[in-house]
Structure formats: C-alpha cells, structure tokens
Amino acid sequence: MKNDVIIALDKVSFSYNGADALENVSLSIRKGEFLGVVGPNGGGKSTLLKIILGLLTPAKGQISVLGKSPHKGRAAIGYVPQYAAFERNFPITVEETVLLGRLGKTRMLWRYSASDHHAVDVALRECEIDGLKHRRLNTLSGGQFQRVLIARGLVSEPEILILDEPTANIDMRVEEDIFDLLKKLNARSTIIVVSHDIGFISEYVTRVACLNRTLVCHETEAVSGKTIEELYGSSVHMIQHAH
Amino acid sequence: MEFFSALISQSFLQNALLAGLLASVGCGIMGTYVVVKRINFLAGGIAHSVLGGMGIAYFFGKSPIIGAIVAAVIAALIIGWVNLKWRENEDTIISAIWSVGMAIGIIFIAKTPGYSVDLMSYLFGNILMVPDSGLSLMLLLDVFLVAIVMLFYKQLLAVCFDEEFARLRGINVEFFYLLLLCMVALTVVLLIQVVGLILVIALLTLPAAIASQYQGSLLRIMLTAVVLGAVFTSGGLALSYAPDLPAGATIILIAGSVYLISTVARGLIKSKAKVNDI
C-alpha cells in the first residue's frame, strides 16, 4: 500500500506574514484516489494545493510528489484553477487555451506540433466541448468555461488532476455534470478537488480531507454532521441535495 | 495629390513612408501585448526614460538612437524587476524612472557643448528626417521582434494569459516577462523616430486597442494592428504634407480619432443590441 502513495506531506506548516495558514499537516494521497478537500474560507485549502504544486514552499515539513520535489513532480500534474479568477475578455479561443496545457510536453520553439493538436481534439471530445473549439472564451457559459479549463489540465495526460473549486458559481445541474466527468477521469488519474460543498462531493469522492489549518481525513461514509460542525467551528445545517 | 507627386521625386518622403511602414510592424505586434497584458503605464515609463540615454549619448558624441536602445532596455529590466519583486510600490517607482530618465536627458542635452540640439525632434519625432541608417536599424529591430515572437509565441501567450499556469507547465515566467518588456523597449525606439517619445505610447497602443475591438485572437489582433499602423502613419504623412503640419502629431490625431469613433460606434451597436433583446 505504501508504494501506492504518490503525494506525501509530512508535518507541513505554512504562514502568511506570521499568520498560520497550515499547521502540522500530514497527508498521504494514494494512486487512483478521488480526494475531496473541504473546509471554511481561509482554512488553507488553496494554500495546500499551492504547496503540492510547488508554488509555495512550506516553512516546516516535507513534501514529495511522485517521489520528487513538488517543483520537479508537478510536470505530471494537471491543474484546474478557479475559473472565476480569469480575465474573461482576453482574446483567446478554446483551442488556443487548451493548447497551453501542452507546454512542457511540446517543442520549445515555433508552433505546436500535429500531436499537440491531436491531444487537444481528444481532450475536447472527452470533456464534450469539441463543438466549441474555435469559440472565444468570453462567449462561453460558466459550465463550458470550466470544461475548457479541465480539458487544458487533461491535455498533458497527467497522472494527477488537481481542481480548485471547479464548480464555484456554477448552477447545481452543471455541477453534477462536471463531477460525473471527473468520476469518469478518475478511472485513469488520481483526482484532488477542493470544494465548498461537502454534502455534494461525498457522493463522488473516495476520501474527504477536512482542512481548517489542521487536517483530519475521513472515509466518505464517516462524514457526519458532528464532523462538519467540528470543522467549521459552529453549528451548520445539513441540507439534503436533490440532484 | 501634391503629396503623391512629391513622393515620386523626393527621397526623404520615400524614406518617411518606409519608416512609417517599418514602425507599423513593431507597433502592431508589441502594441498587442501591451494592450492585452495591460502594461500601458510600464510602457509609458520605458518610453519617457529613453530621453536619459539619448541625452547621455549625445553629450559624449555617440548616436542618440544607440543611447535610446541602451536606456530603453535598462529601464525595461528595472521596471520589470520591480513589477516581479516589489509590486506594491510599482506605480511610484515607474513614475520615478519616467521623470528621472527625462530629467537626465534634458540636463545632458543642455550641457552638450557646441550647437544646441533640437530637443523637440527627440520629444515629438521627425519622420521626414529619418536617414538611411535609421531605416536599416528599424528593419533590423523589426526582423528581431518578428523572429522572437514567431519562435516563442506559445510562451509569450501563456505568460500574458495565465502566469500561474505557465509557471506550472515549466515556463520561466520571469524570463519571458522581462523579454517581453525588452521587446516593448526596442519597439519604443523604433517608434520614437516616427512620432517622438512623448507620443510614442499612443502609436504603440491605439492600433492594437482598435484591432482588439474586432478580433478574437492575439495573432489576428497583431495582423490587424500592423495594417492599421501602416494606414495611420502613411495617412498622417500624406495629410500633414500640404498644410505643413507636424507629421507625428497628425499620425496620432488620426489614430486617436479612429479609436474614438470605433469605441463610440461599438458602444452604440451594443446598446442597440441590448434594447432589441429586451
């Protein structure tokens, strides 16, 4: 089982200008897992992702991605950032956006190769947006935009796919479609997804990491109202979703 | 008509037309990056600080354009470094580089022995006085800019669109950002000969800003901006000839008018479309 661990954090701590964001976080993510990371705003979810991606260096603790440093291991990670943070009016087409995911795999100079374009076609088909290939990003709906970002993360054929709040500001029906797609992709990639919706993601993920500066992991069946209350630090209402 | 007959017989006008066309290539391509990356203020800082290099070069009897190239690249690297490492003070530092560069230029030009150089030609350009050597330099800079953009189009697009993702895909974001600013700096030098350093930021950004209102990809914006730049520089030259107006200022007035008309027209079309939707 230990050999299956592809991401390992050991007693990782991180602070922004003295304010603790993560404290003593240890986490092992196994190959093929579909891990949901939940927690309150400011609980350190995005910080955790950025540490795994090598964008932030922890003050204390060790981290390895596929047995390497995050900086070296991240080539095998497909990353899907929060779509709401994007400049929607940037003049770029869906195809050009997804092609950016081939950087690091394609040749350095000159244009993309035929195999890059083929990989883009495959990723667009898999995300069911092949009909949008030549559309500008600012003409897409929120759900379509999110699928483009997933296709961009997928097109490098990553071993690990990391998504930061992929369904924030997206309506519930589209959210379900996106998670159905992720479930399908989980057959070949390990998936880590940050989400605010613990009730919803527990139907899809194999394990939940509850993060509020410190970390507690649970198998999905163990997530109860009490767990959520401890995580958020106050009483919360559990709402039964009707998807 | 008077312009066209003069164009056939006068080599200085032919040089001027060619200088405008060569400047259009640089302004169309690099102006597109400046507009989509929203670094107009950075480009303005680079453009104005160039006077420092020109003044120093003039004082020591060297070519002002070579001084401009050196100053532009140094200013680009300093401003780029500040942007990458010290973003909270960026505005103040760019403003300081902007005005200190100009102040150095004015002092060196004032203290240059011999006859007094025409400061106005540096500030407002003189497309009618571009020598053959100036054209060769412009051609060289254009070839360099086009070659770099063709070779690294993917990386430059990634850095402009999504720096964080580019970094994750192994792109050296800091290197390409500084390269981009250095290319903007060289373009500024290209354009200074046509419109001078006071007006250079307008010629750098207006063609690309107009093109971006109609085109949906970076490459198309670049090509359209090159054509618009060629129309503005040639049109400005032609219109200014008979009434003996300053060519640089006429070029900028045409570009500014087209930008204004285009922006208002698009606004009206959009609001009409909204009314129809209701």
Q: Please write the tens of the pLDDT for every residue from B125-167.
A: 778 877 788 888 889 989 999 999 999 999 999 999 988 889 9
Q: Looking at residue A108, what DSSP letter applies? A: S
| Residue B194 confidence (pLDDT) | 78
Share of chain B above pLDDT 70, in %: 97
Instruction: Point out the least confidently predicted range of A120-124, A223-227, B76-80, B149-153.
Output: A223-227
Is pLDDT at A85 greater than 70 in this prediction? no
Share of chain A above pLDDT 90, in %: 10
How many C-beta atoms lie closer than 10 Å to residue A239's C-beta? 9
Q: Looking at residue B89, what DSSP letter applies? A: G
Give whichever of A138-152, B84-98, B245-259 has the largest mean pLDDT.
Answer: B245-259
**A82 close contact with B: CB closer than 8 A:** no
* Residue whose structure tokens are 């800082």: B45
Contact criterion met (CB below 8 Å) for B119 and B12: no
**B264 falls in which pLDDT band (50, 70, 90)?**
very high
Is pLDDT at B192 greater than 70 in this prediction? yes
Closest Cβ opposite residue A109 in set B151, B166, B216: B151
Find the mean pLDDT for residues B79-103: 85
**A243 falls in which pLDDT band (50, 70, 90)?**
very low
First to last CA, chain B: 50
Find the mean pLDDT for residues B69-88: 86
B56: CB partners within 8 A, 6+ apart: B67, B71, B104, B105, B108
Instruction: Point out the least confidently predicted range of A83-92, A110-119, B131-140, B197-206.
Output: A83-92
Give whichever of A9-23, B7-21, B79-93, B231-245 has the largest mean pLDDT.
Answer: B231-245
Does B215 sit within 8 Å of A100, measured CB to CB? Answer: no
Closest Cβ opposite residue B151 in set A87, A110, A112: A110
**A8 has which bridge partners?**
A28, A64
| Residue A221 confidence (pLDDT) | 52
Q: Which residues of A touch B160 (CB under 8 A)?
A: 90
Mean residue pLDDT across chain A: 81
Closest Cβ opposite residue B216 in set A79, A91, A101: A91
| Residue A84 confidence (pLDDT) | 60
In chain A, which ranges are E strands?
A: 5-16, 19-30, 34-38, 60-65, 77-80, 160-164, 190-194, 207-212, 214-219
* Residue whose structure tokens are 């670094």: B39
A110 to chain B, closest Cα gap in Å: 4
| Residue A238 confidence (pLDDT) | 46
Does B171 sit within 8 Å of A92, measured CB to CB? Answer: no
**A241 falls in which pLDDT band (50, 70, 90)?**
very low
Instruction: Point out the least confidently predicted range of A125-129, A155-159, B84-88, B92-96.
Output: B84-88
Does A97 sit within 8 Å of B36, measured CB to CB? Answer: no
Instruction: Point out the least confidently predicted range of A83-97, A139-153, B23-37, B240-254.
Output: A83-97
Give whichever of A49-53, A127-131, A164-168 has the largest mean pLDDT.
Answer: A49-53
Compare all CA atoms of chain B with the CA of A76 and give the residue at the minimum distance. B169
H helix runs in chain B, sequence order: 2-9, 11-37, 40-59, 64-85, 90-110, 119-124, 132-151, 153-161, 163-168, 173-212, 218-241, 247-277
Mean residue pLDDT across chain B: 87
Find the mean pLDDT for residues A209-213: 82
| Residue B230 confidence (pLDDT) | 94
B139: CB partners within 8 A, 6+ apart: B22
Closest Cβ opposite residue A91 in set B164, B168, B212: B212
Does B212 sit within 8 Å of A100, measured CB to CB? Answer: no
Is pLDDT at A237 greater than 60 in this prediction? no
Does B218 sit within 8 Å of A55, measured CB to CB? Answer: no
**A95 close contact with B: CB closer than 8 A:** no
| Residue B73 confidence (pLDDT) | 93
